[in-house]
Chains A and B, each alone.
Chain A
Amino acid sequence: MDPVAGIGLRSPHLAEIAREKPATGFLEIHAENYLAGSPARQTIEHLRRDYEFSVHAVGLSLGSAEGLDEKHLDRVAGLIERLEPQLVSDHLSWSVAGGRYFNDLLPLPYTEESLAVVVRNVQRLQERLGRRVSIENPSCYLAFEHSILSEPEFLAEVARRSGCGLLLDANNIFVTAHNLRLDPADWLAPLPADAITEYHLAGHAVNYADGERVLIDDHGSHVSDAVLDLFGEIVRRYGKRPTLVEWDTDIPALDVLLDEARRAERVLMAGRADARAA
């Protein structure tokens, strides 16, 4: 896919997009919202003729020690066969345990044991889909005492062992770095440029825990200037990639979202076309 900016397709905008077909780089959908045979599913199948697509799953639970839910995997595979998207992704996290789904991107300890689990699950996913997928860095609110790798070291190793791509979410890097008291520049350093396939951008909220500021990845506002600066740094370091703007709570008018994607695209275009890791 060309390194352009696109938008996360959300149901309040679906009818307007189908009617107006506004210009944008690509549309990204959450796989889990389009697995049933709803009118929305028919609409996106029609939209596929006019737009490049990216399918972003949120429920595969690639970090589950119990392995992937094959039934869910079959449904996601069916959607991907139908849409033939340019990119397929999910997160470095888990959301399923003991047959219950928690609808959260839950954190993993970054250990050899977790690495083996994630690599096995990513390999199973890639084998089932017959294609490469990308793994996104989550927003973190806690870290485990027994982690022995940093998150980017862990991601780099998953990519090396499984051959998967990496989806860098600049807002998540910013949120994680703040919440876990890390330096975003240090966070970026260990990543393999060749593996990076896509960038994500979104807004975050400020909350408080024990009287301290905590950043919450709520996708409910404009991309902050600080995150956009970090995004510029990422583009300078790793080069241009397809870039997505997501907005999931307090969803604004479609024009606002499209403007936000154009704002991201200006930063993207200022970056080097084929930058390599320093």
Chain B
Amino acid sequence: MLALPDLQKAFAGYLSGGDGVDLARIVRGDSISAAARLRIHRHHVQQSLATALAATFPTVHTLVGEAFFGAMAGSFVVKDLPTQPVLAEYGAAFPDFVDGYAPARDLPYLPDMARLDWALNVAFHSPDGPRLAAADLDSIAPDRLLGLALDLTPGSALVPSAFPIDRIWQASQPGANGSQVDLAAAGASLLVGRRSDDAAFVALDAAEAAFVTAILGRATLEAAAQAAFAVEPAFDLSTSFGRLLALQAFAALR
């Protein structure tokens, strides 16, 4: 017999890929062996966590299909079990795992699709809160405004990619028209954020992406604009800033 802490340690080892020999010795076997009974638990752990990952990475799941996804998720689960019980918060390391997953090498955009799925998941599970409107800035003098920093809404993230991940995402949605995506088309930088009852993304051009990256890095509006000008001298701050304001991308002035 094992003391409970040792039993749980042995069980955890078995569920993480161990052989479970020590554990099988203390499990009652009859016409169903101890090993077969233990396998029911191991199967459930892998299956249920792969299902949770499929819910968190729906685009990846659609793109590769159930069988491929199940195998890929199963390999990830054994290496990287959750550290807490909220399954919507499980899978932060999955995009990098997909990046290194040899059988997926022929789908070079897949890691970025996983990053997009993860960003949408994080945004969806972020609290809704106040959003900055253009009217909130009316009373601030333009030169003072440039010296201020802004917060994007909680859960916002920029997902840059060398692939047209916005079009790949759209083509993999239920009810998509089945048109082909040209993978050689220009890449996309997507700003992902929480909407009132959903999470969504908008495509940014290269200068806007530089601007948002600087804002996420807590730069002032002026410094963020300079970062954008460095990418594209024709960057129009008032147009791009106005567009982001209209999208309700900002939570507040800092």
Contact = CB atoms under 8 A, between A and B. Distances in A.
A209 B26 CA distance: 19
Given A59-B86, A209-B39, A103 B48 contact: yes
Contacts of B34: 142
B32 interface: yes
A111 B4 CA distance: 9
A236 B31 CA distance: 34
Interface in B83-106: 83-89
Interface in B1-29: 1, 3-5, 7-9, 11-12, 15-16, 26-28
A214 interface: yes
B107 interface: no
Contact of A104 (B39, B44, B89, B197): B44
Nearest to B31: A212
A130 interface: no
B236 interface: no
Contacts of A109: 1, 4, 7, 26
Contact of A59 (B8, B33, B85): B85
A141 B40 CA distance: 7
Given A58-B85, A66-B5, A103-B85, A39 B28 contact: no
Contacts of B1: 109, 145-146
B147 interface: no
B49 interface: yes
Contacts of B124: 38-39
A143 interface: yes
Given A69-B84, A142-B27, A142-B37, A39 B197 contact: yes
Contacts of A214: 32, 40
B contact residues, range: 35 or more
A113 B48 CA distance: 30
Interface stretch (A19-27, A89-97, A184-192): A89-97
A209 B32 contact: yes
Contacts of A143: 27-28
B40 A209 contact: yes
A13 to B, nearest CB: 15
A37 B196 CA distance: 11
Contact of A39 (B32, B88, B196): B196
Contacts of B15: 102, 104
Contacts of B128: 37, 39, 42
B216 interface: no
A98 B8 CA distance: 9
B81 interface: yes
Contact of A99 (B38, B83, B89): B83
A238 to B, nearest CB: 29
A100 to B, nearest CB: 4
Contacts of B243: none
Contacts of A49: none
B87 A216 contact: no
Contacts of B33: 210
Contact of B45 (A42, A71, A104, A146): A104
Nearest to A94: B8
Contacts of A59: 84-86
Contacts of A99: 83
Contacts of B83: 99-101
Nearest to A114: B4
Interface in A231-274: none
B182 interface: no
A35 interface: yes
B85 A32 contact: yes
B237 to A, nearest CB: 32
Contact of B30 (A75, A117, A181): A181
Contacts of A142: 27-28, 34, 37-38, 40-41
Contacts of B5: 65-66
Contacts of A69: 84-85
Contacts of B38: 142
B57 to A, nearest CB: 16
Contacts of A101: 81-85
B147 to A, nearest CB: 31
A95 B11 CA distance: 10
Interface in B176-233: 196-198
Interface of A: 32-33, 35-39, 42, 58-61, 64-66, 69, 71-72, 75, 94-104, 106-109, 111, 113-114, 117, 141-146, 179, 181, 207, 209-210, 212, 214, 216
28 contacts: A36-B88, A39-B124, A39-B197, A60-B85, A65-B5, A69-B84, A69-B85, A72-B86, A95-B85, A97-B12, A100-B82, A101-B81, A101-B83, A101-B84, A102-B81, A104-B45, A106-B11, A108-B4, A109-B1, A111-B4, A113-B4, A141-B40, A142-B37, A143-B28, A144-B28, A146-B1, A210-B31, A212-B31
